[in-house]
């Protein structure tokens, strides 16, 4: 798999028809300085393929960083921090808290923004927060097959799901060099 394909991605899915009039979409140069855009052949509507926003949380439990082994595609069986897509009508912060609860059954409070991760040719922007556990018990949720806390030296770097997972983990460890992590 090419490096750019290992991002948080389901793969390219481009619409074929205009959401306004149903006309066929085609790639056209709208402005010479910008990439080609999908444009309706009938009404000239420009269909912008915007990135999806993913929210996640990194936090420690008993001095160890919590990761989940994904139970769904993409990257099923690989390790990641709890996270997922932001639903329409919720904030990025609400999504990070919700996804953490869904994937590892822990309640967290968001302490700070860790980073925003985006990559060329990836359809996602990944927003990762540093969290603090305020309740629950660490267990795999519906979309995970395992939830586990790792010392930094135990992190399965070769089995991480996405580039954003490894980049965020490196940032988290750099900012939290605690004696037990």
Q: Catalytic site residues?
A: 146
DSSP-derived letter for residue 86 is: P
In angstroms, the first-to-last Cα distance of the chain is: 31
- Strand, helix or coil for residue 162: coil
Q: How far is CA 118 from the centre of its chain?
A: 10
3-state SS assignment for residue 181: coil
- What whole-number distance in Å separates Cα of residue 38 and Cα of residue 50? 12
Question: 101 with 126: CB under 8 angstroms?
Answer: no
> What is the C-alpha to C-alpha distance for residues 126 and 51, in angstroms, rounded to an integer?
10
The two most distant CA atoms of the chain are separated, in Å, by 63
51, 118 contact by CB (below 8 A): yes
């Amino acid at each position: 798999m090419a490096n750019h394909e290992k991002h948080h991605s389901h793969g390219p899915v481009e619409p074929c028809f205009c959401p306004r009039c149903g006309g066929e979409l085609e790639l056209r140069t709208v402005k010479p300085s910008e990439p080609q855009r999908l444009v309706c052949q009938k009404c000239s509507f420009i269909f912008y393929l915007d990135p999806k926003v993913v929210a996640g949380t990194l936090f420690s439990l008993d001095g160890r960083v919590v990761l989940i082994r994904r139970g769904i595609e993409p990257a099923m069986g690989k390790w990641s921090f709890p996270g997922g897509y932001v639903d329409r009508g919720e904030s990025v912060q609400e999504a990070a808290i919700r996804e953490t609860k869904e994937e590892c059954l822990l309640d967290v409070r968001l302490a700070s923004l860790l980073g925003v991760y985006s990559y060329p040719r990836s359809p996602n922007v990944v927003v990762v927060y540093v969290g603090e556990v305020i309740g629950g018990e660490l267990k795999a949720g519906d979309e995970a097959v395992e939830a586990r806390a790792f010392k930094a030296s135990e992190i399965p770097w070769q089995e991480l799901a996405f580039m954003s997972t490894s980049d965020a983990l490196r940032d988290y460890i750099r900012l939290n060099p605690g004696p037990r992590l």
